[in-house]
Structure 1
């Protein structure tokens, strides 16, 4: 029997009928991690939920972070104790919910004379950090001597080194986290639409917002969605939505651009992730991931267009110079960069402060028409941001609060339908998958690591599909099976959805796009029935993304 709630564009027609024929408790605008978290929280409490995103899910900031679920050590220096406590405890919860996707990453913090962190203050700070974040076991911090620090990472510069701090962060894939949240919300009954844009709002005679007038970019249909509450979780686009509501009276956000560059792993053979000083007083990460190492991030005021965010040569030079100073033998040049990404952080504006000085706390705004907007915040805090939104809605309308479960349930809801329960289960499953791949002729351990860290046990469905493709090399079959899974289970609509947001190939295995683009495009066209003009447009969009990931401009 066909699944009536398949998370696929194949169900678009019936889904559009459903969203236009009922009154929702909550309509969420924005399909990044914040919106996804709100959708899951609301639907799990028993409310009716619709989420709409004008592009693809996680196509904005939620695909372009440093990809860490971290406790925010630097916020301790800024004395944001509450933020450190919340972030540290939240990362433990998210790791429990998706241990294949949120994984421990040992972090080395080298300490230098005159650096951001002194040895004594680091020892105290990391101990406080462990306490606030409720860190236990092997994840607790260790202080290292000079010789121990060099042994841990021989590539570090020796001059001025005073020792190191060794502690745990958690690495993730931000776009994958977002898509799993949305898939789970959908399973529980939420209506979730990508490529559906709000173009205006409707109001009651009393001036309260009651409808969103939308354009579905897939069918070109205009539709009207009704709700008791509308929540804008659009990140950098929050002020744009407020302008549609005519509720933007003054500056709310200060946008900050963060750039990351990707280099081949053999260009900087780090033994673990490093968090290190830059000459201007900031700190950046260098994080090994599979076949590459990525480095970031910058933190500069951004005032250019949100339609296309490019990386400048100045951005790249900043990061390369920082790496070469910290790792003198690296001798990186701009030619070593194989990919990159630039994201925009929606920081809450405070007069006179630089982006690095602004708080990463989230803030909620309520317009006179009832539009609820949330801005600021961090990837790590998506669950608590959702909880604060729900509390805000309940405080406005007792009736909706009376129908919903009072406390958040999302700390106990696994993020996949076939959850792995612990680190140990992840390791065991990876061993099993390795044997299955070997039986298919795949000996590359990286592929096994990629499948598990990307899909968890959902990788089973991909491997099962491989047998449906004939006469190709096994790696090509695997890519085709991934696309099939993406189209039928993860709302993939375009080439960019697949190559960028669902797989991360644009950033971490860019050569696969060049190798498998043609067969992926052919399969996508067959699955979704696109005409030649639509496919030409999709290739054009992907070409632009490839260019922007590998080209560095003189100006923004």
Structure 2
């Protein structure tokens, strides 16, 4: 049993209690996962706690793009665009199974935000700043060519379009794969473990009190350095350390709607400006679905209790009706939806779309290091900066000799295919292997692309399939439990597979069998089983807005 199995929690707790960590990370989103990986690969003794599931906050609720920040050109954030462009390429090369290049169409209409010249110029500057490789550089289309590429697009006033490459990702899977790589390199990480107290005992270390959210048990962890990477909950963690200073977070809410391709047969990913307020919005085809978003409004509620409101739905539906008028899409065709918040650093007098997405690092008097802001795309660089700071302090204070980051050319879990160049040939070979197990070509291809070089482990679980679950679901479930720390049905259906968002019929069909299987394997009490069942039902209601 590995250190990332849901069955390893008791053993992990014992190790957490016994160790004194060089670094303890609060938060298991993409930033925390990146920090744990960077630290572990430098030989630092690192532990991490996530109060919900890994990636359950912002890191599973984005637009699911690892993009180079084209929108920041409008705000003249040149350095940001250049850095994000470089990082985007690194994220892709280190994990081609969770990141896929897609051509994005930027249409321009008479009276719109962009024209032919500004689009061509903007995309050319973007290519240069982001160091876009030759085969992915932008090109321009006439109005007729734009319609041929996406027939559903608004034709009235259409002048043409620009096409450039974005990188579509599964944000939760990316986070999980980074976390698995951190654990494989020696990090200890536990989900459903909430930090409830921080006390700086003396200059040598801090004591962090945590509570297992699954059983209510509390225990203490000692660490020389503590990093707060709690995303939307950064300020809550800072309160545990003392009073907040004048720097604080402001939350921006983003909502996405999902449609079946039968109702929204989108052929081409589109990035367009809305009629209502001119802000940019994405419409992206994915695995037989199309999803559209995002909104950008200030949010003051509990980040763990987000709801898609009537106003959110209407904003996106209005945007769809504007850009795809012939569709005549109605709200009853919404298959699922998700809402998330972006943790932004407050800037007086600015609206949510105007506030910078740059990350910032600061340290309290007691020594708590906080990182906030930033983008999914820049997670690795953010982690490198934080760990550089931690390393300097550890080396200065303890005469240690930790070195520099090595994550730039380090594949994440599942990405060991010698880069993107060989990924498709890898998928072809594993597709054939899956068919030898009795899977269909479609199922085998899906698994190979989804899990990358970890797919053989999934195949091994499929070989052991028994009971009433289809072999493919059985294999994914037991891989998620034993290799990815999936502790609840929601962990499995939402963040390990994404099925709740993009294959909701599968969730409805197999939810009870999965609950029964997990209950038996993880020895749940009747009360725990009911609790996890209720949680999944709550998630179902949220995504279907019922």
TM-score range relative to shorter protein: over 0.9
Q: Contact 1:30–1:234 at 8 Å: present in 2 too?
A: yes
Question: Within 2, Cα distance between the matches of 1:324 and 1:448?
Answer: 37
Match of 2:81 among 84, 90, 101: 84
Q: Contact 2:259–2:333 at 8 Å: present in 1 too?
A: yes
SS across alignment from 2:491: helix
SS across alignment from 2:224: strand
User: Deviations for 1:153-184, whole angstroms, at most 9, x for unmatched residues?
Assistant: 11111111111110001011011011111111
The alpha-carbon deviation at position 414 of structure 1 amounts to: 1.0
For the aligned residue pairs, the C-alpha RMSD in angstroms reads: 1.8
Find the counterpart in structure 2 of residue 260 from structure 1.
Answer: 256
SS across alignment from 1:365: strand
How is 1:147-226 mapped onto 2 (pairs within 5 angstroms)?
147-204=144-201, 210-226=206-222
The alpha-carbon deviation at position 434 of structure 1 amounts to: 3.5
The alpha-carbon deviation at position 146 of structure 1 amounts to: 1.6
Q: Contact 1:247–1:367 at 8 Å: present in 2 too?
A: no
Find the counterpart in structure 2 of residue 52 from structure 1.
Answer: 49
Structure 1 residue 538 and structure 2 residue 532: aligned? yes
Structure 1 residues 506, 164: closer, same or farther in 2, change over 3 A? same
Q: Contact 1:394–1:400 at 8 Å: present in 2 too?
A: no
Match of 2:333 among 309, 333, 336: 336
Question: Within 2, Cα distance between the matches of 1:195 and 1:521?
Answer: 18
Structure 1 residues 134, 53: closer, same or farther in 2, change over 3 A? same
Question: Within 2, Cα distance between the matches of 1:316 and 1:448?
Answer: 36
User: Deviations for 1:407-430, whole angstroms, at most 9, x for unmatched residues?
Assistant: 211112111256223445332233
Structure 1 residues 347, 209: closer, same or farther in 2, change over 3 A? farther
Find the counterpart in structure 1 of residue 508 from structure 2.
Answer: 514
Q: Contact 2:427–2:449 at 8 Å: present in 1 too?
A: no
Moved more, 36-45 or 137-146: 137-146
Find the counterpart in structure 2 of residue 247 from structure 1.
Answer: 243
Match of 1:309 among 290, 306, 309: 306
Question: Within 2, Cα distance between the matches of 1:271 and 1:400?
Answer: 57
Find the counterpart in structure 2 of residue 129 from structure 1.
Answer: 126
SS across alignment from 2:327: coil
The alpha-carbon deviation at position 375 of structure 1 amounts to: 0.7
Q: Contact 1:201–1:209 at 8 Å: present in 2 too?
A: no
Structure 1 residues 199, 434: closer, same or farther in 2, change over 3 A? same
Question: Within 1, Cα distance between the matches of 2:301 and 2:215?
Answer: 31
SS across alignment from 1:530: coil
Aligned length: 545
Q: Contact 1:87–1:381 at 8 Å: present in 2 too?
A: yes
Moved more, 145-154 or 336-345: 145-154
Structure 1 residue 270 and structure 2 residue 266: aligned? yes
Structure 1 residue 284 and structure 2 residue 281: aligned? yes
Moved more, 369-378 or 108-117: 108-117
Match of 2:29 among 32, 37, 50: 32
SS across alignment from 2:326: coil
Moved more, 166-175 or 6-15: 6-15
User: Deviations for 1:234-293, whole angstroms, at most 9, x for unmatched residues?
Assistant: 111011111111131335111000000100012222222100110201010001000111
Structure 1 residues 356, 227: closer, same or farther in 2, change over 3 A? same
Q: Contact 2:29–2:57 at 8 Å: present in 1 too?
A: yes
Q: Contact 1:27–1:51 at 8 Å: present in 2 too?
A: yes
Find the counterpart in structure 1 of residue 68 from structure 2.
Answer: 71
The alpha-carbon deviation at position 457 of structure 1 amounts to: 2.6
Structure 1 residues 417, 120: closer, same or farther in 2, change over 3 A? closer
Contiguous gaps of at least 5 residues in structure 2: none
Structure 1 residue 230 and structure 2 residue 236: aligned? no
Q: Contact 1:102–1:171 at 8 Å: present in 2 too?
A: yes
Structure 1 residues 122, 488: closer, same or farther in 2, change over 3 A? same
Structure 1 residues 448, 335: closer, same or farther in 2, change over 3 A? farther
SS across alignment from 1:420: coil
The alpha-carbon deviation at position 386 of structure 1 amounts to: 0.6
User: Deviations for 1:351-395, whole angstroms, at most 9, x for unmatched residues?
Assistant: 000000000101112111111111110000001111111233245
Structure 1 residue 435 and structure 2 residue 432: aligned? yes
Q: TM-score, normalised by structure 2?
A: 0.96
Moved more, 116-125 or 88-97: 116-125
Q: Contact 2:362–2:370 at 8 Å: present in 1 too?
A: yes
Q: Contact 1:347–1:359 at 8 Å: present in 2 too?
A: yes
